[in-house]
Amino acid sequence: MTTGDPPTGHEHGGHEHGAGGHGTQPIVGHHAAWGMPAAAPRIQPYTMTPGSIDTMSVRVREKIDVLGVGTDVVDMLGTFTVRRDHPCAVGDPPRVEWGESCVKTEFRSLELAGESPVFGTVRVHLSPDEASHGEVGPSSDGSLAASCVAHCFPIVELPDLGLRLTTAGQPVSLASKVIQIPPVGDVARSQNSAALVDGEGNTVGEIISSDIEVGNLLLSIPLGSTGDTGATGAHHEHGVHETASGPYFYADGQPAGELEHPHVHPPAGTVEAPQQAPGTPQDLTETLALLQRELRSLADVVGRLSQGER
């Protein structure tokens, strides 16, 4: 491609100005920067998919009461990122199939912002002191929808009131019924209220309810070989969370092909993720080599520009 060509936004196998190696893709801006519709990954319903780290848009309606200030229903927009493990079988015989499996999840981030006529700006994010986690479990009551639960520990910031409030270790538990993972279009609703506590431990308010619309999948990075190694040789126990980040949840990076455990890893690629993370040591080596070449090329360009300025 020359500089006179129209941008496609996604050139493959080439590079400009002689920099980089074969297969390098230029960084020239997202599809949206070129006026093209973004390529959303397709999600297959009723299908257990390999674990990944998903970032999704979200809209949250939270009913908040602050003592002495008032109650308001606050509409907030934002994003959240969730790490979901590879699915595990919970039935007998164990089969990784929709409706007979579970997927453990851990919320890595939640960033919400909204405006309230009562509170002013409202920001919500996850407490770093607690692991917000959840699970997509088997279907129930003859329904094909899987039961999805999440236990989140939010921090509510009301900067106009000078308040930063936690739920003091009490989770807001959310539940929904999903037919696809990631759960695009899902609506999760809280099952409990939670007291809001200030930095001194005083109860100053309450999250009365939370209702959540899951929006588009913005980014999905497959876990690759970082799935559960099953080192303990046990099944995930559906509905039990010893710790969200405990030995069942994270892996030590052993390649999936060498595992001997009851977790069956479905074939990769079931979800057409927008990006593929390097999955093997060879992939990583190649990626690092490409990055090194790109950096050398960039250094050359910077050097030439510096000389030109002089």
Partner 1 sequence: MSVVLTLRDSVAACRDAYETVIESVAGPLDERVFGDVQAAWRAYYQEVFGPFDRQLRAESALGQVDAYVPVSVSHHNLERLFEALAAELPADARLADAPIPERVLDLDVGIRRLRLLLTSRAAEPTPFGD
Q: Which stretch binds partner 1 (CB under 8 A): 103-111, 180-188, 273-281, 283-291?
A: 180-188
Rounded CA gap, 174 and 73, in Å?
Answer: 17
CB 241 → partner 1: shortest distance, Å?
21
| 270 is a contact residue toward partner 1 (CB under 8 A) | no
Can you say whether residue 149 is alpha, beta or left, with left for phi > 0 and alpha for psi between -120 and 50 degrees? Answer: beta
Give the alpha-carbon dihedral of 111, 56, 9, 308, to 10 degrees: 20
> Quick one: tokens of 75?
């509409």
Residues from 194 through 253 that contact partner 1 (CB under 8 A): 208-209, 211
Q: Which helix (H) or strand (E) holds 308?
A: helix 281-309
Site for partner 1 (CB under 8 A): which residue of 14, 23, 29, 45? Answer: 45
Query: Who contacts 285 (Cβ-Cβ below 8 Å, separation ≥6)?
Result: none
* Closest approach of partner 1 to the CB of residue 172, in Å: 13
Rank residues 61 and 123 by Cβ distance to partner 1 and give the closer one: 61
Establish if 30 lies at the interface with partner 1 (CB under 8 A): no
Minimum separation from the CB atom of position 282 to partner 1 (A): 33
Number of residues near partner 1 (by CB under 8 A): 28
Q: Does residue 269 bind partner 1 (CB under 8 A)?
A: no
Q: Which is nearer to partner 1, 40 or 298 (CB)?
A: 40
Per 3-state DSSP, what percentage of the chain is helix, strand, and coil (rounded to 5)? 15, 35, 50
Q: Which two tokens stand for residue 4?
A: 């006179």
Q: Is 189 in the site for partner 1 (CB under 8 A)?
A: yes
Q: Binding pattern to partner 1, positions 65-104, x when CB under 8 A? A: --------x------------------------x------
Work out how close the CB of 43 gets to partner 1 at its nearest, in angstroms, rounded to a whole number.
8
Question: Nearest distance from residue 252's CB to partner 1, in Å?
Answer: 34
Amino acid (1-letter code) at residue 96: V
Tokens 């209702």 locate to 211
Could you report how far apart the first and last alpha carbons of the chain are, in Å? 30
Contact region with partner 1 (CB under 8 A), list: 82-90, 141-149, 222-230, 268-276: 141-149
Site membership for partner 1, residue 166 (CB under 8 A): no
294 closest CA partner among 2, 10, 21, 8 = 21
Binding residue (CB under 8 A) for partner 1 from 21, 28, 47, 170: 47
Q: Is 180 in the site for partner 1 (CB under 8 A)?
A: yes
Strands 101-116 and 88-89, how do they pair? antiparallel
Closest CB 191 distance from partner 1, rounded Å: 7
| Measured distance CA(216)–CA(78) in Å, rounded | 11
| DSSP letters spanning 267-301 | PTTSS--S-----SHHHHHHHHHHHHHHHHHHHHH
Q: For residue 74, what are the β-bridge partners?
A: 62
Q: How far is the CB of 61 from partner 1 (least distance, A)?
A: 7
Radius of gyration of the chain (CA): 23
Compute the least distance from the CB of residue 242 to partner 1, in Å: 27
Interface residues with partner 1 (CB under 8 A)?
A: 42, 44-47, 61, 63, 73, 98, 142-145, 175-180, 185-189, 191, 208-209, 211
